[in-house]
Amino acid sequence: MDEWQKRLAQLDDFMSEVMSSKDRSRPHNLLLLIDRWLKQFHLSSQIDCSDILTDTYFLARSEIQDKGVNIEKLPAWFKTVSFRMIRDLSKKSKNRDRATQRLIRNDEHFTENVIHLNDFDQTSINALVEASAKLKEEEFKILKLRIVQGLSWKEIKLRWAADTERELSEAALRKKGERALKHLRSEFTA
């Protein structure tokens, strides 16, 4: 039996022990900890502790099988990784909530500036295609990455550096994106 297969067997034994634990009152019980963290981060209504445990298990399998990592202390590793997963999910949830609140607060301003797809007719589509053809290649590329592909500015920065071999900051790319959108709007409405 290979070394990584032994590690996988240890992982499976650990998971069996966690899942079959009858004494849920012990303070070091992993499921109890995950449940407490989910409540602490206000995620207990959205995520079940078994989902976190399962994701952590599959991550551990991947680490052992694909990367050959030796996880010496499985309970500690599971606690750390589970906590980080929950914390990251909480951050994403908070960011999503903040974005929703901004949209709600700025709803009137937001809806004034959005062109609804239902309002598009063939003339509008043709005008948009003509307006985008008048953009510089650089402007078109930034808008395509940001709006069509939905990439973050960080991802755009990495893609930009790889494609153009020019390093630009996120702020510079964001400004270029604002200018490109302004240019597209002026061409579209002209």
All residue ranges of the chain with pLDDT < 70 are 1, 21-28, 102-121
Assess whether 90 and 131 both reside in one domain. Answer: no
Cα separation, 10 vs 65, in Å, equals 13
Assess whether 16 and 96 both reside in one domain. Answer: yes
Per residue in 59-104, pLDDT (tens digit) is: 998 888 888 888 888 889 999 999 999 999 998 888 887 777 766 6
Asked, for residue 166, whether it belongs to a domain, the answer is yes
Assess whether 50 and 139 both reside in one domain. Answer: no
Assess whether 28 and 88 both reside in one domain. Answer: yes
pLDDT at 119: 55
Asked, for residue 109, whether it belongs to a domain, the answer is no
Cα separation, 90 vs 26, in Å, equals 26
pLDDT at 52: 92
Cα separation, 38 vs 52, in Å, equals 9
Assess whether 80 and 166 both reside in one domain. Answer: no
Asked, for residue 114, whether it belongs to a domain, the answer is no
Assess whether 97 and 131 both reside in one domain. Answer: no
Assess whether 136 and 94 both reside in one domain. Answer: no
Assess whether 84 and 29 both reside in one domain. Answer: yes
pLDDT at 103: 62
- The range of the structural domain enclosing residue 163 comes to 121-189
Positive or negative, the Cα torsion across 143, 148, 152, 154? negative
Assess whether 10 and 99 both reside in one domain. Answer: yes
- CATH value at residue 157: 1.10.10.10
Count structural domains, the chain. 2
Assess whether 17 and 62 both reside in one domain. Answer: yes
Query: Which two three-digit tokens encode residue 124?
Result: 């509008």
pLDDT at 83: 95
Q: By CB neighbour count within 10 A (0-12 exposed, 13-18 middle, 19+ buried), where does 95 fall?
A: exposed
pLDDT at 111: 45
Assess whether 89 and 133 both reside in one domain. Answer: no
Beta carbons within 10 angstroms of residue 175's beta carbon: 12
Asked, for residue 116, whether it belongs to a domain, the answer is no
Assess whether 9 and 75 both reside in one domain. Answer: yes
